Amino acid sequence: MNQPQKDPKREKAYDCWLAYRRLEDSVANRYQAICSEIVVMGQSAIMDMAVEELKRGLGGILGIEPRILYGSADVRALALGMDIECLAIPVKEVEALSHDGFIIMGQNGGILIAGKSERGVLYGTFSFLRSMQTGMSPDTLNRIENPAAGIRMINHWDNMDGSIERGYAGNSIFFRDNQFISDKDSVRDYARLLASVGINGVSINNVNVHDQETRLITRELLPEVALLADIFRSYGIRLYLSINYSSPIDLGGLSTADPLDGTVQDWWCQKASEVYSFIPDLGGFLVKADSEFRPGPFTYGRTHAEGANMLAKALEPFGGIVIWRCFVYNCQQDWRDRATDRANAAYDHFMPLDGEFKDNVVLQIKNGPMDFQVREPVSPLFGGLKKTNQILELQITQEYTGQQRHVCFLIPQWKEVLDFETWCDGPGSTVKNLVCGKVYPQKHCGFAAVSNIGDNANWTGHILAQANLYGYGRLVWNPDLSSETIADEWVRLTFSNDPEVIETISKILLKSWETYEHYTSPLGIGWMVNPNHHYGPSVDGYEYSAWGTYHRADWLGIGVDRTVATGTGFAGRYHKPNAEMFEDMNKCPEELLLFFHRVEYKHRLKSGKTLIQHIYDTHFEGVEEAEKFRTRWLSLKGKIDKERFDAVLERLEIQIRDAREWRDVVNSYFYRKSGIPDEKGRRIY
């Protein structure tokens, strides 16, 4: 897995969705006519990148080398620029455009790509190239697009020793052996990939900030950080740093990191001033505090609001923000204790603080109350918090979803989260509307997600996992895009416009999350993985642990009673009617049944099957589905280059092998516990 590649760029998969594959059809001919000249209005570093990208894209897709003119748009050509007035764009359209948005429109027989900002122009350029590559006619390009929210961020969990926490695609592209990697080519290519889907922020180091990474905010390492910031900036991306809350002690030699201590406050103010002297547009700090043994304000008897606001005050003069993670819970719980519920933790920690955070603090909230399981309910902090900036945290890296050995297209999962109706302010109070600031006013809002890339030649280990990075960017730009649209786009850009290729790969992608769920952990209970590395099945792996992650299976049944009436009360953290829905075993969505209820194996589901039979059936089905992925993929032989065809096939084989292991372990576990045989008499061990 972690073998570094000699020259990754030689691999086909390295280009991802920006390969700019030659098109030779009537549509291509029409673009050729228009795109032989590019008229550029305005100049800046980011505009330069847009022009470079156009040259690259047109060269690749159309095989032409366009002439670049700097001047007015009054030509029949491809024109791009920021000077909206000179571009003769109707007022209505100009008004509809937000800062990062873009407009693409036909004008004088040419095509205009415009934005109010250079970033907008860059996004428009990538969007235009995408349209061309996916085979859209020039007639259908006209559109205005604005991103759904201001923060569209990637979090790296990279350590300076080069390892990546929960990384499944090799080592860091930023760090090696506690140094910065001097060759920045990969970083540049990565920034381009991110910008192409509208990402505008990246935190480069693990939220678990160890000794060496603590020093990223020192004069010794800041010049190196600044070099990375320069690269990302040229693609419109702001760099963020994860910081160690006890830096005043570790770096400053102070005896405390108490946020209410004047010397600590002064230290951070001076530190911010120093950091911004190197990187004037640093996005800000990302903080994991008081979680999983990380230091934080609790050490000093302070609240997280006090802790975050102190940092926010230090960053305020420089326009920086503090992104504060809500992943706070007791990771030394006693498994015997059935009253304490980790699911309640983030809600109970942060709800009392709603309204107490400064306006340059943003809470980063994981999609679910636990930790990126294959299936969880939405965190009740969404719809709970009303007076707090918030962003949704997703996990692109497949920690609990197959670790990029298994295909698991996560967009459908994220769509469910985004479309979840919280009812906090009547209908329409969906998660997507909340984190886009449409329900409650927020100065900062949006999205963050944990990166799935590393220094593997194909970036993501599994080539099909590139679709998750692509899809994340597309989805947070426009949460209304369907999973189908995103899959279709990605396959077209990455492989081919051949309908058979599109259909085959899209089908695999769109089915894959369900399939993964089928052969792993049933009905929302989660956590049946091997401890620590989290790969492969271990039904009791976390059952007697301190991590607050239990299924409570016995000879009669399984599940956690999280009702208000008889359980941990978690169901009551939601607004009506969600609270009532989760509370009632008969109304609770069945895919979350075991998350909210303890259920006997003989309980009949809506399908008429017993719970135990459902477990058996889905596990057999999951393997059959994984086997179908291979069959489908094999049907594409000859339609996809051998290199990528073989690489994906190899992973699909691994997935089948592992899915069988999951099936047999989970089924055997429940058979051995319940004594209830499979109705269909299949082999259980």
399 is catalytic: yes
**Does residue 336 belong to the site contacting a copy of itself (CB under 8 A)?**
yes
Among 369, 395, 393, CA closest to 381: 369
* Count of chain residues binding a copy of itself (CB under 8 A): 24
Residue 671 binds a copy of itself, judged by CB under 8 A: yes
Judge contact between 419 and 392, C-beta under 8 A: no
Residue 276, CB-side half-sphere exposure with 13 Å CA sphere = 19
Q: By CB under 8 A, tell whether 685 contacts a copy of itself.
A: yes
Nearest-angstrom CA–CA distance, 52 and 63? 15
- By CB under 8 A, is residue 318 in contact with a copy of itself? no
Count CA atoms within 13 Å of residue 487 on its CB side: 23
Nearest-approach distance from CB 398 to a copy of itself, in angstroms: 22
By the rule CB under 8 A, 211 interacts with a copy of itself: no
Q: Which of 386, 438, 630, 673 binds a copy of itself (CB under 8 A)?
A: 673
Cβ-contact 135, 156 below 8 angstroms: no
From 281, 675, 679, 682, residue interacting with a copy of itself (rule: CB under 8 A): 675
Q: Binding to a copy of itself by residue 557, rule CB under 8 A?
A: no
Identified binder of a copy of itself from the candidate list 278, 335, 423, 535, rule CB under 8 A:
335
Among 189, 213, 399, 625, the active-site one is 399
- Cβ burial of 337 (10 Å; 0-12, 13-18, 19+) is exposed
Residues 492-531 that bind a copy of itself (CB under 8 A): 530-531
What's the longest Cα–Cα distance across the chain? 79
Q: Which of 83, 185, 292, 480 is catalytic?
A: 292
Measured CA distances, 69 to 40, 50, 73, 89, 194 (Å)? 6, 14, 10, 20, 27
Check binding of 674 to a copy of itself (CB under 8 A): yes
Residue 555 near a copy of itself by CB under 8 A: yes
Among residues 537, 567, 569, 572, which is the contact residue for a copy of itself, using CB under 8 A?
537
> Judged by CB under 8 A, does residue 664 bind a copy of itself?
yes
Q: What's the CA gap between 685 and 92, in Å, rounded?
A: 68
Is residue 228 within 8 Å of residue 187, measured between CB atoms?
yes
Nearer to a copy of itself among residue 143 and residue 657 (C-beta) = 657
Using CB under 8 A, which of the segments 149-157, 198-206, 456-464, 536-544 binds a copy of itself?
536-544
- SS3 at position 119: helix
Q: Does 544 bind a copy of itself (CB under 8 A)?
A: yes
665 binds a copy of itself, rule: CB under 8 A:
yes
CB of residue 210 to a copy of itself, shortest distance in Å: 18
In the complex, the smallest distance separating the C-beta of residue 452 from a copy of itself, rounded to whole angstroms, is: 26
Closest separation between CB of residue 3 and a copy of itself, Å? 17
> Given 100, 189, 341, 371, which residue is catalytic?
371
List the 67-70 sheet strands across, edge first: 67-70, 37-41, 78-81, 110-114, 102-107, 143-145
Which one among 11, 425, 540, 627 touches a copy of itself, defined by CB under 8 A?
540
Q: Is 625 a catalytic residue?
A: no
Looking at 173, 553, 579, 659, which residue binds a copy of itself (CB under 8 A)?
553
Q: Which amino acid is at 638?
A: G
371 labelled catalytic: yes
Interaxial angle between packed helices 642-674 and 611-634, expressed in degrees from 0 to 180 and rounded to the nearest 10: 170
Told to check if 603 binds a copy of itself by CB under 8 A, we report no
**Measured from the CB atom, is 88 or 556 closer to a copy of itself?**
556
Residue 610, strand partner residues:
604
Question: CB 101: neighbour CB atoms within 10 A?
Answer: 20
Q: Which stretch binds a copy of itself (CB under 8 A): 152-160, 397-405, 639-647, 668-676?
A: 668-676
* Nearest alpha carbon to residue 474 among 558, 414, 525, 552: 414
Q: What is the radius of gyration, based on Cα positions, of the chain? A: 25
Give, as ranges, the residues between 465 and 494 that touch a copy of itself (CB under 8 A): none
Compute the least distance from the CB of residue 330 to a copy of itself, in Å: 17
Of the candidate spans 164-172, 208-216, 475-483, 537-545, the one that interacts with a copy of itself by CB under 8 A turns out to be 537-545
Site for a copy of itself in 57-86 (CB under 8 A): none
CB of 300 to a copy of itself, least distance (A): 27
> Is residue 672 part of the contact set for a copy of itself (CB under 8 A)?
yes
Q: For residue 164, which of 399, 465, 477 has the smallest C-alpha distance? A: 399
Nearest to a copy of itself of 575, 660 (CB atom):
660
DSSP calls for 204-253: -S-SS--HHHHGGGSTTTHHHHHHHHHHHHTTT-EEEEE--TTHHHHTT-
CB of 179 to a copy of itself, least distance (A): 20
Q: Which stretch binds a copy of itself (CB under 8 A): 261-269, 470-478, 550-558, 629-637?
A: 550-558
Binding residue for a copy of itself (CB under 8 A) from 106, 353, 538, 678? 538
- Is the dihedral angle over the CA atoms 225, 231, 233, 238 positive or is it negative? negative
Nearest approach in angstroms of CB 336 to a copy of itself is 5
Q: What count of other Cβ atoms lies within 10 Å of the Cβ of residue 55?
A: 15
Q: Which is nearer to a copy of itself, 143 or 672 (CB)?
A: 672
Q: Does 682 bind a copy of itself (CB under 8 A)?
A: no
C-alpha pair distances (Å), 205 with each of 156, 241, 244, 458: 5, 6, 11, 21
Q: How far is the CB of 596 from a copy of itself (least distance, A)?
A: 20
Per the structure block, which two tokens stand in for 66?
Answer: 């366009």
**Would you count residue 556 as binding a copy of itself (CB under 8 A)?**
yes
Instruction: State the distance between the two ends of the chain, measured CA to CA, in whole angstroms.
Output: 31
Looking at residue 96, its amino acid is: A
Least CB distance to a copy of itself at residue 613 (A): 17
Q: Assign 537 to helix, strand or coil.
A: strand
Residues lying near a copy of itself in the complex (CB under 8 A) are found at 335-336, 530-531, 537-540, 544, 553-556, 661, 664-665, 668-669, 671-675, 685
Catalytic residue IDs? 292, 371, 399
